[in-house]
Chains A and B, each alone.
Chain A
């Protein structure tokens, strides 16, 4: 009986593998098609039948993209905005998380519950007041202004993520640091931050991606063409009537590449961070 069930098992596993591979094809096809379109000359983009591997691959779209409409500038703007946001969120959220995890102070629970409650409010419903506030503070048309708004949104969530991580760190290391006369700041910088590196890099990567991809706030905050970020630049490639899809996807590919690289490099931390809070029996 065991023998037959073992060969049955093998067929069954092969069937499963087959389904998974078909799934991969379905999931990956849109992405691959985007890559292939980016390398098609403008004459071939609407061709019938559609070509998966372009007959005459060309870098023309990338050249046009980087030579036109401040695209290179938009790349730099996005890099500035996303890196600053990642840095700000990481530093501020870990400071708050450390405070919640290791100190006792008046009002701790009240502040904690305000943050907890705010987690339920999705950031995107706040664009109207944020826009008017930025306008009143004179922060429209300013990349640092955009960074401030981008950084505020994810703070609560990341504070909770890091607080959980800090609380699970063993206290022994801090205790020996205290005996050596370390101050809270020293312990935070020298002991907690290095130990929490996996969680902190998750926070940094997610905040980077959030700022890198954001579209609507950037569209309304930045009217000055030289300040525009990548998603706006890509959207501008999509003309009103005849869209040059090759150009759109050459721009898209340029924007997507850094995020995919980040994902590949940080895959382990990524998955850890994603599942750490979610999975319990």
Chain B
């Protein structure tokens, strides 16, 4: 809200002056296109065109091996997807991952931001440490969590739960069944994401003028009342933004599952992208994989579209 105020005042100041005629930039009609062309060409070739090409592939029993011909099979890949129990399980698992990790990241991220904003010492330190997992590669942290959740007694998580906290009677073989494997995957998702949510929330909290809190405190509002009545409404738009970004990110859960469980045991922890990947690059069913990708793309686009409408519009600028 500070920045909005500032923007208004500069706009008022510039509009008070006569519009600058001298110094207007002259350019030939093609100049804007020259600036646009290299980037746009690359973008069209590697993202817009593949999006269309993927639809094309999904109508075929696509053969990747040279010499074999791909057969046009219409919508058969899509029909197959709707009857494929593993695919439905993967979709349910993806939704489960989104729900658990988004709620976890939002709540913990907001709580941390609020606390860091309250204490005046070491803000930069807290922010940096909580943010560190965000910049660490998914490959590395996936291996790290696999190691932390090692099945034997020497695994760090087992050691802490069994020998230090005594909440478990004996070491758990985490990856041996789906429900305990999800604990490892969920906790990685939350651990890696809270720093991001925290940084965004913290910036929003820092934008709230302290006078508002002082006024509320004089009116006798307690800590909790101030948080619910004042802070939450003021950071509503930021919260919505974080929510959308996390949901969209959550649907793309992939590397962690691929490297920690590989979708196992027996496809029980498969998510949409790992199953698509397994079908295409594992079983060489590229047509079927393309159809699965398309279904997931449509789900994500619909969800983000609904959220963007809900989120509101501000001129033509992007909200992120």
Determine if B31 and A103 form an interchain contact, defined as CB atoms under 8 angstroms apart.
yes
Partner of B22, one of A95, A112, A179: A179
Determine if B255 and A216 form an interchain contact, defined as CB atoms under 8 angstroms apart.
yes
Determine if B22 and A27 form an interchain contact, defined as CB atoms under 8 angstroms apart.
no
- DSSP majority for the B interface? helix
Given known pairs A48-B153, A277-B318, A278-B241, the reply for A263 and B135 (CB within 8 Å) is yes
Determine if B27 and A103 form an interchain contact, defined as CB atoms under 8 angstroms apart.
yes
Q: Which residues of B contact A130 (CB under 8 A)?
A: 46, 50
Determine if A111 and B36 form an interchain contact, defined as CB atoms under 8 angstroms apart.
yes
User: How far is A111 from B36 in the complex, measured between Cα atoms in Å?
Assistant: 10
Determine if A118 and B137 form an interchain contact, defined as CB atoms under 8 angstroms apart.
no
Determine if B132 and A274 form an interchain contact, defined as CB atoms under 8 angstroms apart.
no
Closest to A155 in B: B43
User: How far is A176 from B137 in the complex, measured between Cα atoms in Å?
Assistant: 45
Of A23, A115, A148, A262, most buried by chain B (CB within 10 Å of CB) is: A23
A24 contacts the other chain (Cβ, under 8 Å)? yes
Determine if A275 and B22 form an interchain contact, defined as CB atoms under 8 angstroms apart.
no
User: How far is A104 from B121 in the complex, measured between Cα atoms in Å?
Assistant: 49
Determine if A279 and B203 form an interchain contact, defined as CB atoms under 8 angstroms apart.
yes
- DSSP majority for the A interface? helix
A197 contacts the other chain (Cβ, under 8 Å)? no
Closest to A52 in B: B156
- Bits for B129-146, please: 1 = Cβ < 8 Å to A, else 0: 111110111111101110
Within 8 A of B (CB), among A111-143: 111-112, 114-116, 118-133, 135
Partner of A105, one of B29, B137, B251, B255: B29
- Bits for B41-75, please: 1 = Cβ < 8 Å to A, else 0: 01101111111011001000010100000000000
Determine if A95 and B36 form an interchain contact, defined as CB atoms under 8 angstroms apart.
yes
User: How far is A171 from B144 in the complex, measured between Cα atoms in Å?
Assistant: 49
A194 contacts the other chain (Cβ, under 8 Å)? no
Closest to A248 in B: B143
B112 contacts the other chain (Cβ, under 8 Å)? yes
Within 8 A of B (CB), among A56-105: 92-93, 95-96, 98-99, 102-105
Partner of A278, one of B131, B163, B238, B304: B238
Q: Which residues of A contact B54 (CB under 8 A)?
A: 125-126, 128-129
Smallest beta-carbon distance B192→chain A, Å: 10
Determine if A153 and B57 form an interchain contact, defined as CB atoms under 8 angstroms apart.
no
B310 contacts the other chain (Cβ, under 8 Å)? no
Determine if A260 and B135 form an interchain contact, defined as CB atoms under 8 angstroms apart.
yes
User: How far is A125 from B129 in the complex, measured between Cα atoms in Å?
Assistant: 31
Determine if A126 and B143 form an interchain contact, defined as CB atoms under 8 angstroms apart.
no
Given known pairs A99-B36, A133-B50, the reply for A92 and B163 (CB within 8 Å) is no
Closest to B23 in A: A175
Smallest beta-carbon distance B191→chain A, Å: 7
B263 contacts the other chain (Cβ, under 8 Å)? no
Smallest beta-carbon distance B134→chain A, Å: 9
Of B137, B138, B286, B316, most buried by chain A (CB within 10 Å of CB) is: B137
User: How far is A112 from B36 in the complex, measured between Cα atoms in Å?
Assistant: 11
Within 8 A of B (CB), among A216-259: 216, 220, 231, 234-235, 238, 245, 248-249, 252, 255-256, 259
User: How far is A228 from B125 in the complex, measured between Cα atoms in Å?
Assistant: 36
User: How far is A212 from B137 in the complex, measured between Cα atoms in Å?
Assistant: 8
User: How far is A203 from B297 in the complex, measured between Cα atoms in Å?
Assistant: 25
Given known pairs A96-B39, A120-B305, A129-B54, the reply for A275 and B129 (CB within 8 Å) is no
6 inter-chain pairs at a CB distance below 8 angstroms, sorted by A residue, are A175-B23, A212-B137, A255-B140, A260-B135, A267-B124, A281-B237
17 additional contacts (CB under 8 A) given A128-B293, A216-B258: A24-B126, A30-B145, A33-B144, A34-B147, A99-B33, A122-B251, A122-B252, A130-B50, A155-B39, A171-B20, A175-B23, A220-B281, A252-B137, A267-B128, A274-B203, A279-B204, A279-B238
